[in-house]
Structure 1
Amino acid sequence: MPIKVVIIGGGSSYTPELIEGMLDRYESFPITNIVLVDIKEGEEKLETVGKLAKRMIKKAGKQIHLTWTLDRREALKDADFVTTQIRVGGLKAREKDERIPLSHGFIGQETNGAGGIMKAFRTIPVLMDIANDIHDICPNAWLINFTNPAGIIIEALIKYSHHKRVIGVCNIPLNMRHSVAEILAVKPSDIMIEFIGMNHFVFGSKIYVNGMERTEEVLAKLQEKLDYSPANIVSLGWTKELLESLKVLPNPYHDYYFHTREVLNQDVRAFRENGTRAEVVQQLEKGLFKLYSDSKLNAKPKELEERGGAYYSDVACSLMDSLYNNKGDVQTVNTINNGAIFDLPEDTVIEANCVITKDGPEPILVGNLPISIKGIILQMKNTEELVIQAALSGKYEDAYLAFLMNPLIGDEKMSKTLLNELLIAHKEQLPQFKEAIRQIEII
């Protein structure tokens, strides 16, 4: 039986890791056809990645037909799985998302604060178009999205697109498992964490090693300032007071919320010394694509781990494997709440442990949110809803409210300043805000 996977954003530097993940699972997930898709601006990278992917497949000796194209609708014909890893506006847009907030004394980060909101504004309409194409052309296909901000995008698609077979994935929960395994000197496969919350704002409520709970031990060891972050986030460590008060495991992105001033100072220093993270990544990308262009390279280079996306292939490919084989195993994904967390609406999207079947993820019951994190999770979920509303309406007042209510902004006048400057900076990728931007420019 043929299995066709379409990778939208196929010219991404992450694609070799995704190809590696598919090759590693070929015995249980025997893909027959892979199509890489990108836009005209990414054509050169698409061809470079496509040639490397072909060399990887040849080295593995697998019978997989791989092609690449700029014609998305043609590529989607007969697709069984579609993955999305796009960056609307490219790394130059990310640079603006980071540089502009930093210039005004706010966190500049691609998925949190003002930068994360702007990325959602640019990305949601594009993913809506992709999802609607999938619904028209290959309605039975699963859309597996790891474009950030993943949770917000999945909620927008589930609520407002025609296509409902969508699941969001992120490497952070798996990264947390690997980090905990290293802390306890055990194998990652021995670790099970009960996750509760949303994408990039998820907590570990319980930690088990081979079925035995060891949450308190892990929280105690984290007080020793052990490193606990992916390559793109510098760990600042967690204090005894915070860990003993929360009684849950934070994720690396919580540095932005619980160490805001320290992170901001650190980011400003890094910005002055090396530029924004986006500028650093652009240099990393140049090096990666130089490696990818080597006709002798036939494997994912280790240097890719410096991009901060380690374990994406494990997450995405394990999910596709489980959906295809109706495995019924437990994985952490972004999907509809459906009553798993009592304090959140049933139709909202959460990041949680789910049983994965051929019919999709089934969230495992969580119950009530712990009182220690309930308020901030409800606030973040409300902020996400406001971001989606603004991204789809294109109304200035909706966008302003999303900025104002974000805990990394929360300033009446600066919300307006940041929003106005960012809207103008990104106006080419924000057609829905055309009238709002026109009004700003008149003033």
Structure 2
Amino acid sequence: MKLAVVGGGSTYTPELIDGFARLRDTLPIEELVLVDPAADRLELVGGLARRIFAKQGHPGIITTTSDLDAGVANADAVLLQLRVGGQAARQQDETWPLECGCVGQETTGAGGLAKAMRTVPIVLDIAERVRRSNPNAWIIDFTNPVGIVTRALLQAGHKAVGLCNVAIGFQRTFAKLLDVAPAEVHLDHVGLNHLSWELGVRLGGPEGENLLPRLLAQHGDAMADDLRLPRAVLDRLGVVPSYYLRYFYAHDEVVRELGSKPSRAAEVAAMERELLAMYGDPALDEKPALLAKRGGAFYSEAAVDLAASLLGDGGSPIQVVNTYNNGTLPFLADDAVIEVQARVDKTGATPLAVPELDPLYAGLIAHVSAYEDLALEAALRGGRDRVFKALLAHPLVGQFEYAEALTDKLIAHNREHFAWA
């Protein structure tokens, strides 16, 4: 089995490698190729990756290349974890929206649209080159914004599934609180990527008793602290929102916070410099503790589980993924991409049935999904008017004056990435 990781020079990659090494019985990789245009980073990450495999006794071969076509040739699956424009572009995405009083964040709001527009054309080009080499290869997308990028891939006819680590993070949290193995925890996870709620927590499968009310009663304060939302919000909702819902539920508070401290991009850039220096140490043969602060917790375990199910029989039969709606949420189009529990096997991902949603959740899902329609149009076809319409449609923008100003700023800060600008 051959896997390729596009964006293999990312500081995330040792987390992925550690998972591949630990879970080799679930996903028996024979060849792993790390692909990245940044040869200097690739050398550091690739060296550590080989040392991790060697320490854990993994027999697979790890190679590195900056040649995309050579790297993905004949791969059974390709994982995408790239960041077009790097941390410098992220820094911009997180700052210029604040000038208009809107959230500056890399996956939602105006910054998220900028990232989608930079990313979609690049990802589609990569996917076409993968298809030329192996039309049966699966593409696993971890590149944000996952929902929009996955929809672009599916619309273009690629065998693609989107992956996010939010759900597996909740699964691990609830498993610890319940003192059970994570595999025993089933989540009623519903929504879009980075716009989701845990409606239930069950043991043993979809038919198990919903333990979420008990968990909220016993651990609501800790959950609220982790989400940085008032405990009363969780009590009144009776569900657990993903931490991205704070951008919606406490927008103005978040804008004030973001404007008063260094950006997350600046923090991550400093962390990456430290991590890369660590990766260059020939004595290091495990992922460093600092990597946990970089983000992407449990990403490797989710990726292994998904790849194992798509390529064989090793993964969990039910996983939270991003895939076509196909009637699951009746208020969305079939070709909308949603993030829900799905049955995953060699044929792909089939969403499980979802109970009728409270309008409180359905309304926001429909609103953001409509924005994603327009965002994908802007990413695929360009043009100032399409950018403006997508911004006007986003519930975190929504005002004509803001949309006009943000459109100009988005284009000005990303002109080098847009052939039409």
Is the TM value for this pair above 0.5?
yes
Q: How does 1:210-249 map to 2 (within 5 A)?
A: 210=204, 211-221=208-218, 223-224=220-221, 226=223, 229=226, 235-240=227-232, 242-249=233-240
The equivalent position to 1:74 in structure 2, one of 51, 66, 70, is 70
SS at match of 1:362: strand
Residue 65 of structure 1 aligns with which residue? Answer: 61
The answer to whether the 8 A contact 1:225-1:237 is kept is no
Q: Name the Cα RMSD after superposition.
A: 1.7
1:212, CA displacement in angstroms?
A: 2.4
Q: How does 1:336-355 map to 2 (within 5 A)?
A: 336-355=324-343
The answer to whether the 8 A contact 2:198-2:240 is kept is yes
Question: d(CA) in 1 for partners of 2:416 and 2:72?
Answer: 27
1:186, CA displacement in angstroms?
A: 4.6
Matched, 1:46 2:42: yes
The answer to whether the 8 A contact 2:72-2:130 is kept is yes
Q: How does 1:306-321 map to 2 (within 5 A)?
A: 306-321=293-308
1:346-390: per-residue Cα shift (whole Å, max 9, x none)?
A: 121110111111111111111432222111110011011110011
Question: d(CA) in 2 for partners of 1:360 and 1:162?
Answer: 13
The equivalent position to 1:86 in structure 2, one of 55, 59, 82, is 82
The answer to whether the 8 A contact 2:154-2:160 is kept is yes
Question: d(CA) in 2 for partners of 1:108 and 1:370?
Answer: 29
Q: Which runs of 5+ in 2 are unaligned?
A: none
1:28, CA displacement in angstroms?
A: 3.1
Residue 177 of structure 1 aligns with which residue? Answer: 171
Q: One-letter code of the match for 1:7?
A: V
Question: d(CA) in 2 for partners of 1:326 and 1:237?
Answer: 40
Could you tell which deviates more after superposition, 335-344 or 282-291?
A: 335-344
Could you tell which deviates more after superposition, 58-67 or 278-287?
A: 58-67
Residue 264 of structure 2 aligns with which residue? Answer: 277
The equivalent position to 2:354 in structure 1, one of 359, 366, 379, is 366
Q: 1:216 to 1:404 in 2, by over 3 A?
A: same
1:187, CA displacement in angstroms?
A: 4.3
Matched, 1:378 2:375: no
Could you tell which deviates more after superposition, 394-403 or 318-327?
A: 318-327
Question: d(CA) in 1 for partners of 2:93 and 2:122?
Answer: 18
Residue 406 of structure 1 aligns with which residue? Answer: 394
Question: d(CA) in 2 for partners of 1:359 and 1:349?
Answer: 17
SS at match of 1:382: helix
Could you tell which deviates more after superposition, 370-379 or 176-185?
A: 176-185
The equivalent position to 2:100 in structure 1, one of 92, 97, 104, is 104
Matched, 1:297 2:289: no
Matched, 1:14 2:2: no
TM-score under structure 1 length normalisation: 0.90
1:188, CA displacement in angstroms?
A: 3.1
SS at match of 2:404: helix
Alignment identity in percent?
36
The answer to whether the 8 A contact 1:343-1:368 is kept is no
1:73, CA displacement in angstroms?
A: 0.9
SS at match of 1:51: helix
The answer to whether the 8 A contact 1:101-1:107 is kept is yes
SS at match of 1:220: helix
SS at match of 2:254: helix
1:209, CA displacement in angstroms?
A: 3.5
Q: One-letter code of the match for 2:418?
A: L
Q: How does 1:364-443 map to 2 (within 5 A)?
A: 364-431=352-419, 433-434=420-421
Matched, 1:259 2:250: yes
Question: d(CA) in 2 for partners of 1:339 and 1:296?
Answer: 52
Q: One-letter code of the match for 1:174?
A: I
Question: d(CA) in 2 for partners of 1:354 and 1:132?
Answer: 26
Number of residues of Structure 1 aligned to a counterpart in Structure 2: 417
Question: d(CA) in 2 for partners of 1:391 and 1:228?
Answer: 36
The answer to whether the 8 A contact 1:171-1:310 is kept is yes
Question: d(CA) in 2 for partners of 1:293 and 1:247?
Answer: 47
Q: One-letter code of the match for 1:368?
A: E
1:178, CA displacement in angstroms?
A: 2.2
The answer to whether the 8 A contact 1:135-1:162 is kept is no
Could you tell which deviates more after superposition, 90-99 or 214-223?
A: 214-223
Residue 325 of structure 1 aligns with which residue? Answer: 312
Question: d(CA) in 2 for partners of 1:208 and 1:228?
Answer: 23
SS at match of 2:4: strand
The answer to whether the 8 A contact 1:225-1:238 is kept is no
The answer to whether the 8 A contact 1:9-1:84 is kept is yes
1:222, CA displacement in angstroms?
A: 5.6
1:223-249: per-residue Cα shift (whole Å, max 9, x none)?
A: 4254564xxxxx322342x33443332
Question: d(CA) in 2 for partners of 1:209 and 1:355?
Answer: 17
TM-score under structure 2 length normalisation: 0.95
Matched, 1:23 2:11: no
Q: 1:366 to 1:264 in 2, by over 3 A?
A: same
SS at match of 1:224: helix
1:71-98: per-residue Cα shift (whole Å, max 9, x none)?
A: 1111121100100000000000000001
Question: d(CA) in 2 for partners of 1:178 and 1:26?
Answer: 20
Matched, 1:206 2:208: no
Could you tell which deviates more after superposition, 280-289 or 315-324?
A: 315-324
Question: d(CA) in 2 for partners of 1:103 and 1:344?
Answer: 33
The answer to whether the 8 A contact 2:224-2:230 is kept is no
Q: Which runs of 5+ in 1 are unaligned?
A: 230-234, 435-443
The answer to whether the 8 A contact 1:97-1:110 is kept is yes
Question: d(CA) in 1 for partners of 2:241 and 2:127?
Answer: 32
The answer to whether the 8 A contact 1:223-1:238 is kept is no
Question: d(CA) in 2 for partners of 1:292 and 1:208?
Answer: 40
1:55, CA displacement in angstroms?
A: 1.0
SS at match of 1:390: helix
Residue 250 of structure 1 aligns with which residue? Answer: 241
